[in-house]
């Protein structure tokens, strides 16, 4: 062997060295999203953060933050002597990645610490904001997660600069590596935008930003076209996709841009690589600039240059006042970015330089800001806020609180904090019911057994109720029994005619027994599984029943499954395979590969399949389905987009049918290995126990009060 050969091939640490499985088989179903964030990655796996944060001295933290914000550091000076606007931007950009399409993104995990977010163009220089916060994080250690701190810092900044605030709820757990489940777009370059159909409203789902690496919109206008009318289209669509209406959008824009300035002192050619691409000696610092001092008034971040208001570290009405006081002209910033300046600006409306010198500069607006004035609806809202500052303040405070907390789910996840005790529709409120006594639960179980409802009807109803849950933003689930309300009662995947019959019987049982419908639905599923397995299925009660009034139909329609592999349902043929859609849903449910396999095999065994395909057993929860899947007595042939037939190898007669979400458990080598375990008769009891465990995991997924 040549001595010049490197003794280390690097294939385990450098993914682009050596041919990988994904290179040979690019269409192979990748199960990695079901394995992320396990205890092996978590240095604090033994710590219960939700308990730790309860003992946090929040006032002490807030005081420390307020002191830190006015302690300007030479290595990254505070604009106008106050880091508050900088922290507000950090907080906004941590929370603003949330999108309603799949509930992913947002501030609830502290993901801004990792790629790609830590190196997004729109997050330029926020690495410095997090470094400034390190002394506070270090001081409070395990009592304060990064996820909570990234949100808290922006709120405290608003408070310290006199702005309206509804406080902060705490209880966000940190993650410890980049998320693998979030689709940020298919573009292979920063600020690419291959994500539109024929119109600006036809943005690829579930994305909520117009270009790769942006939070919402390009501030210069669509593809740097400084057209405020077109920009308004982008603003409206992107804010809608993160759960904001027009009023909330205007309030957030006007309120957020009351503070701080944008930085574009010179060409972006002076900027160095982002944090993930920076040299090792930079220690995670990115965007190092060689323009002047590289900081302070010489900072280059977005390319836009200048403040929005006359006093950028004070809450006031100046953003709206200046926007409507002047006519504005479009000019290039020193960095070459399109922005807008007031025509004939008077001296009193000029802004001091960030370094505290006597120099004064013009305020500016971005094209996105100008859309607030040009768009008729936004214009109307802006003028209403101008006439009613108190309404503007309250609307901003509510919208800002929603922005920061939308992905936390119900208020039961608010473990600590100084938030106001207000109930919002977007929190999906449910009033809990008392935990059932053993005697009452026995009565409910007996009534369900004699109700005339079929085993599969009870299982399908319980599954339909609970499986709306998505771990990404803690929405959906069995609590509230919204399965009986619009829109879920009429979703085609839920078999509306059957569902309405089942619900009417369950509601009568619940009423007769004096218990919640939500608990009765879950108990119904447990009773059916007991009949199929001859094993006890314990149920944790205490769920409440939501009302139609506290159920946002439009918002809940976003949870509607267009395809559900667990039930062999697909409303049409999609560009991605049914098994990929099933995998995505499994991740949202918090399943690992073993749980996914057990759950699908168990459901099929007990007769759950919208199409009737994949039903190869007699309704018993046993090893039959797994054995049938592995059988070599048949050969499978494709008969449609998602339809397959198994023919007897000797007679060529039709034996059974299946779908891709059935057959993938035999074709995928990793899933097949798991199936082989549960096909062994020796493991029948293990199958039953494992199925009941994962079933209860789904039934209790939204019972945050139990965790």
Q: Which residues contact 190 (CB under 8 A, 6 or more apart)?
A: 120, 121, 212, 213
Q: Which residues contact 7 (CB under 8 A, 6 or more apart)?
A: none
- Which residue, among 256, 67, 77, has the nearest Cα to 158 in the 3D structure? 256
What six digits make up the tokens of 680? Answer: 């062994």
Contact of 343 with 326, CB cutoff 8 Å: yes
- CA angle, corner 291, sides to 285 and 293, nearest 5? 75
- Which residue, among 582, 555, 381, has the nearest Cα to 476 in the 3D structure? 555
Q: With residue 84 as reference, give the H or E element that holds it.
A: helix 84-95
C-alpha distances out from residue 30 to 12, 180, 599, 669, Å: 18, 11, 18, 11
Classify 261 as helix, strand or coil.
strand
Is the backbone peptide bond immediately before 533 cis, with ω within 30 degrees of 0?
no
Exposure letters 414-439 (e unless 16+ CB within 10 A, then b): bbbbbbeeeeeeebbbbebbeebeee
Tokens 């606007």 found at: 85
Measured between alpha carbons, how far is 677 from 682 in angstroms, rounded to an integer? 9
C-alpha distances out from residue 257 to 88, 317, 407, 637, Å: 10, 11, 23, 60
- Which residue, among 324, 340, 470, 332, has the nearest Cα to 409 in the 3D structure? 470
Q: What torsion do the CA atoms of 103, 106, 110, 112 make, to the nearest 10 degrees?
A: 120
Given 37, 82, 93, 166, which residue is catalytic? 93
What six digits make up the tokens of 603? Answer: 């459901």
Cross-strand pairs, 330: 340
Strands 351-352 and 360-361 come out as antiparallel
The total of other beta-carbon atoms located within 10 Å of residue 316's CB is 15
User: Radius of gyration (Cα) for the chain, nearest Å?
Assistant: 28
Q: What DSSP string describes 318-386? A: HHHHHHHHS-EEEEE-TTS-EEEEETT--GGG-EE-TTS-S-EE---B-HHHHHHHHSHHHHHHHHHHH
C-alpha distances out from residue 566 to 329, 502, 586, 587, Å: 57, 20, 9, 13
Handedness of CA 626, 628, 634, 636 (dihedral sign): negative
DSSP state of 202: -
Q: Which residues contact 572 (CB under 8 A, 6 or more apart)?
A: 562
Rounded to 10°, the helix 84-95/126-140 angle is 90
Contact of 595 with 697, CB cutoff 8 Å: yes
Measured between alpha carbons, how far is 161 from 686 in angstroms, rounded to an integer? 59
Cross-strand pairs, 654: 647
Active site residue 28: no
Cross-strand pairs, 646: 636, 656
- Which residue, among 611, 665, 671, has the nearest Cα to 641 in the 3D structure? 611
Cross-strand pairs, 480: 545
Specify burial of residue 14 (Cβ count, 10 A radius: 0-12, 13-18, 19+): exposed
φ, ψ of residue 643 to 5 degrees: the values are -130, 135
The total of other beta-carbon atoms located within 10 Å of residue 507's CB is 16
Tokens 């005619």 found at: 497
Contact of 600 with 663, CB cutoff 8 Å: no
Catalytic site residues? 93
């Amino acid at each position: 062997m040549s001595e010049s050969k490197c003794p280390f091939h690097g294939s385990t640490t450098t993914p682009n060295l050596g041919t990988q499985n994904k290179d040979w088989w690019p269409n192979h179903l990748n199960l990695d999203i079901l394995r992320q964030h396990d205890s092996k990655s978590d240095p604090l796996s033994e710590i219960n953060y939700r308990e730790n944060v309860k003992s946090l001295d929040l006032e002490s933290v807030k005081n420390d933050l307020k002191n830190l914000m006015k302690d300007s550091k030479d290595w990254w000076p505070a604009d106008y002597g106050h880091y508050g606007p900088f922290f507000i931007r950090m907080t906004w950009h941590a929370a603003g990645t949330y999108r309603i399409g799949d509930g992913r993104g947002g501030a609830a995990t502290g993901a801004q610490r990792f790629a790609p977010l830590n190196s997004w163009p729109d997050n330029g220089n926020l690495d410095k904001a997090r470094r400034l916060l390190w002394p506070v994080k270090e001081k409070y250690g395990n009592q304060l997660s990064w996820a909570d701190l990234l949100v808290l810092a922006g709120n405290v900044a608003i408070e310290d600069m006199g702005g309206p605030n509804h406080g902060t709820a705490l209880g966000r757990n940190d993650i410890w590596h980049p998320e693998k489940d979030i689709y940020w777009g298919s573009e292979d370059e920063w600020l690419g935008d291959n994500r539109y159909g024929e119109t600006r409203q036809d943005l690829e789902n579930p994305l909520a930003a117009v270009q790769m690496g942006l939070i919402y919109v390009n501030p210069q206008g669509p593809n740097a076209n400084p057209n405020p009318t077109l920009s308004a289209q982008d603003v409206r669509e992107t804010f809608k996709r993160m759960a904001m209406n027009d009023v909330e959008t205007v309030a957030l824009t006007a309120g957020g841009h009351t503070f701080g300035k944008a930085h574009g002192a010179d060409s972006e050619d002076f900027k160095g690589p982002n944090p993930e691409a920076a040299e090792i000696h930079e220690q995670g610092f990115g965007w190092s600039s060689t323009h002047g001092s590289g900081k302070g008034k010489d900072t280059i971040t977005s390319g836009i240059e200048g403040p929005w208001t006359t006093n950028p570290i004070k809450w006031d009405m100046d953003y709206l006042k200046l926007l409507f006081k002047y006519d504005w002209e479009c000019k290039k910033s020193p960095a070459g970015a399109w922005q807008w300046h007031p025509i004939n600006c008077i001296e009193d409306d000029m802004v001091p330089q960030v370094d505290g010198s006597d120099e004064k500069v013009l305020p500016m607006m971005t094209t996105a800001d100008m859309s607030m004035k040009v768009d008729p609806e936004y214009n109307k809202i802006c003028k209403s806020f101008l006439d009613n500052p108190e309404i503007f303040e309250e609307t901003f405070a509510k919208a800002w609180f929603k922005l920061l907390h939308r992905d936390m789910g119900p208020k039961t996840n608010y473990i600590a904090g100084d938030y106001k005790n207000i109930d919002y529709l977007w929190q999906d409120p449910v009033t809990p019911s008392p935990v059932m006594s053993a005697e009452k639960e026995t009565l409910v179980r007996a009534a369900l057994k004699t109700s005339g409802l079929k085993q599969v009807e009870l299982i399908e109803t319980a599954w339909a109720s609970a499986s709306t849950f998505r771990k990404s933003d803690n929405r959906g689930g069995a609590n509230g029994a919204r399965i009986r309300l619009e829109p879920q009662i009429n979703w085609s995947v839920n078999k509306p005619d059957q569902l309405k019959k089942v619900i009417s019987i369950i509601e009568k049982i619940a009423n007769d027994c004096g218990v919640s419908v939500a608990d009765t639905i879950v108990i119904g599923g447990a009773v059916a599984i007991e009949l199929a397995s001859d094993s006890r299925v314990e149920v944790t009660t205490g769920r409440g029943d939501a009302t139609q009034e506290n159920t946002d139909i439009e918002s809940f329609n976003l949870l509607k499954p267009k395809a559900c592999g667990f039930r062999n349902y697909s409303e049409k043929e999609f560009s991605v395979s049914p098994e990929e859609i099933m995998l995505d849903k499994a991740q949202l449910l918090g399943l690992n590969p073993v749980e996914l396999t057990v759950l699908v095999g168990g459901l099929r065994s007990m007769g759950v399949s919208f199409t009737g395909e994949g039903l190869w057993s007699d309704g018993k929860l046993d090893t039959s389905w797994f054995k049938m899947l592995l059988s070599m007595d048949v050969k499978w042939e494709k008969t449609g987009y998602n339809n397959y037939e198994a023919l007897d190898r000797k007679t060529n007669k039709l034996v059974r049918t299946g779908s891709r979400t059935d057959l993938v458990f035999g074709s995928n080598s990793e899933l097949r290995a798991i199936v082989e375990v549960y096909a062994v008769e020796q493991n029948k009891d293990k199958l039953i126990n494992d199925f009941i465990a994962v079933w209860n995991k789904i039934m209790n997924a939204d019972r945050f009060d139990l965790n």
